[in-house]
Amino acid sequence: MASSAAWIYLLIAGFFEITWAVSLKYSQGFSRIWPALLSITAMILSIIFLSKALKILPLGTAYAVWTGIGAAGTAIIGIFLFQEPKDVLRLLCIGLILTGIVGLRIFSTT
């Protein structure tokens, strides 16, 4: 597997990380079946794609990017879907997470 494929797998894993977190919110504590099933499915797919990326990428880099995508993406979606706070300091912190993700990609040797 080429390095670029590993990064694509990692992006897909991050997308499913966001999906499971958002659908978990909609499941209302697993009391709504369809959002709960979506959440579980997305969790499984996230782990599968992360494991594919880990065949090439270093563990620390892949895990940091995976959780960063999940954290930043979920926070951004929370602002739009759930009217969570969007004050300047919160957005700055999300920006720092995204900067870290980009930095890890740029300076990664694989």
End-to-end CA distance of the chain: 11
pLDDT digit string, tens, across residues 68-108: 999 999 999 999 999 999 999 999 999 999 999 999 999 98
How much is the pLDDT for 80? Answer: 97
Structure confidence at residue 2 (pLDDT)? 81
> Which burial class, exposed, middle or buried, applies to 13 when counting CB atoms under 10 A from its CB (0-12, 13-18, 19+)?
buried
Predicted TM-score of the model (pTM): 0.92
Rg from Cα positions in the chain: 15
Closest CA to 74 of 57, 97, 92: 97
